């Protein structure tokens, strides 16, 4: 089987080199679509591609963000793959924990179309802030060494099966090609580094808050703060990642969070009924 990754990026120049170097350990191709970066992200991608044929700089698009932008990459390549090949949705700050091929084989045996990932969210904590202020942390240090505190508090689709004769049709806002339904019984683990340091966090907030209101509400479904200080997370209650150790999944905490989110969504309806 082949694994092609679709990597949609914007302003990730502090980490994109690490992301792509890690992804090519598992993926036959990593196809990068830049959504209007204003930093050095795109030039880094192009530079890496000169020395590694697995990395493909697909192009730059300065258009409003939509998850369905990934369809542009899929529709360019899907006909060159078979129905037993797979696509990885890869963000510019994500790292698979292990080779996904054994789980993909399980999905093929089950005739599944999707594989979900437990998302290990790594946070910038008060301990990290102290290290940053002391001048002992900088962007030249590998991210795995810089951020250790995490929590597995979400899961979502991350791999989907290729359909050779079926393009990703429909609206550009669609997250996935049509015609995919069954989810594999096994999961993968994905490390997500949204919060790396004060400089990056502020840039991330500025980028997201520059989107128009409709895009913010549709794609992110939450209000973003304006200042990076608000994103400092307490290390209390988080797990500490140690190299080569299994990641810790607190299934009770996961379902507690899902229940809380469900109640929050229903709260306006409940209050209105009173």
Short-list 228, 138, 200, CA closest to 12: 200
Task: pLDDT band for 50, please (50, 70, 90 cuts).
Answer: very high
Q: Which residues have C-beta within 8 Å of that of residue 31, sequence separation ≥ 6?
A: 4, 5, 6, 7, 56, 58, 73, 77
Query: Hey, where are the domains in the chain?
Result: 3-262
Q: Enter the pTM of the model.
A: 0.87
DSSP conformation letters of 137-202:
--TTS-HHHH--EEEEEEEEEEEEE--TT----S-TT-SS-TT---B-SS-EEEEE-S---HHHHH
User: Is 90 exceeded by the pLDDT of residue 258?
Assistant: no
- Higher-scoring residue by pLDDT: 229, 220: 229
Cα-based angle 48, 51, 55 (whole degrees, multiple of 5)? 55
Percentage with pLDDT > 70 across the chain: 85
Helices and strands per DSSP (H, E), number in the chain:
9, 9
Lowest mean pLDDT among 84-88, 103-107, 174-178: 174-178
- Higher-scoring residue by pLDDT: 60, 252: 60
User: Is 80 exceeded by the pLDDT of residue 219?
Assistant: no
Question: What one-character DSSP code corresponds to residue 239?
Answer: E
User: Is 80 exceeded by the pLDDT of residue 259?
Assistant: no
Task: pLDDT band for 67, please (50, 70, 90 cuts).
Answer: confident
Q: Say how far apart CA 109 and CA 230 lie, in whole Å.
A: 46
- Higher-scoring residue by pLDDT: 165, 226: 165
Q: Say how far apart CA 78 and CA 26 lie, in whole Å.
A: 18
- Higher-scoring residue by pLDDT: 232, 258: 232
User: Is 90 exceeded by the pLDDT of residue 193?
Assistant: yes
User: Is 70 exceeded by the pLDDT of residue 170?
Assistant: no
Q: What are phi and psi of 196, to 5 degrees?
A: -105, -40
Q: Which residues have C-beta within 8 Å of that of residue 73, sequence separation ≥ 6?
A: 6, 31, 33, 58
Lowest mean pLDDT among 82-96, 102-116, 208-222: 208-222
Q: Which residues have C-beta within 8 Å of that of residue 199, sequence separation ≥ 6?
A: 14, 139
Whether residue 35 contacts residue 64, with contact meaning beta carbons closer than 8 Å, is answered with no
Per-residue pLDDT, 63: 86
* Two structure tokens written together for 54: 């697995």
Indicate the length of the chain as a whole number.
274
Question: What one-character DSSP code corresponds to residue 233?
Answer: B
pLDDT in tens, 14-45: 999 999 999 999 999 999 999 999 999 999 99
Per-residue pLDDT, 175: 83
The CA–CA distances, whole Å, from 16 to 91, 123, 222, 236, 256 equal 9, 18, 25, 29, 33
Task: pLDDT band for 129, please (50, 70, 90 cuts).
Answer: very high
What's the average model confidence in pLDDT over 247-262? 70
- Higher-scoring residue by pLDDT: 134, 253: 134
Lowest mean pLDDT among 106-110, 154-158, 167-171: 167-171
């Amino acid at each position: 089987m082949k694994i092609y990754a679709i990597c949609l990026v914007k302003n990730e120049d502090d980490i994109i080199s690490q992301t792509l170097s890690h992804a090519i350990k598992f993926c036959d191709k990593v196809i990068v679509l830049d959504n209007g970066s204003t930093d050095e992200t795109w030039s880094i991608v192009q530079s890496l591609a000169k020395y590694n044929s697995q990395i493909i700089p697909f192009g730059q698009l300065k258009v409003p963000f939509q998850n369905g932008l990934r369809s542009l990459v899929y529709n360019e390549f899907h006909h060159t793959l078979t129905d037993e090949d797979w696509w990885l949705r890869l963000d510019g700050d994500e790292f698979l924990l292990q080779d996904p091929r054994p789980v993909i084989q399980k999905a093929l045996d089950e005739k599944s179309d999707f594989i979900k990932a437990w998302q290990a969210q790594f946070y910038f904590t008060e301990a990290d802030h102290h290290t940053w202020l002391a001048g002992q942390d900088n962007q030249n240090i590998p991210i795995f060494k810089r951020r250790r505190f995490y929590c597995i508090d979400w899961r979502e689709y991350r791999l989907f099966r290729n359909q050779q004769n079926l393009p990703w049709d429909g609206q550009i806002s669609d997250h996935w090609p049509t015609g995919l339904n069954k989810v594999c019984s096994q999961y993968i683990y994905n490390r997500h580094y949204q919060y790396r340091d004060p400089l990056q966090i502020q840039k991330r907030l500025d980028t997201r808050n520059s989107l128009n209101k409709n895009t913010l509400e549709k794609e992110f479904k939450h209000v973003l703060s304006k200042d990076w200080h608000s994103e400092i997370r307490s290390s209390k209650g988080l797990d500490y990642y140690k190299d080569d150790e299994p990641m810790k999944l607190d299934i009770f905490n996961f379902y507690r969070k899902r229940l809380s989110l469900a109640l929050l969504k229903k709260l306006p309806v409940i209050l209105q009924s009173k």
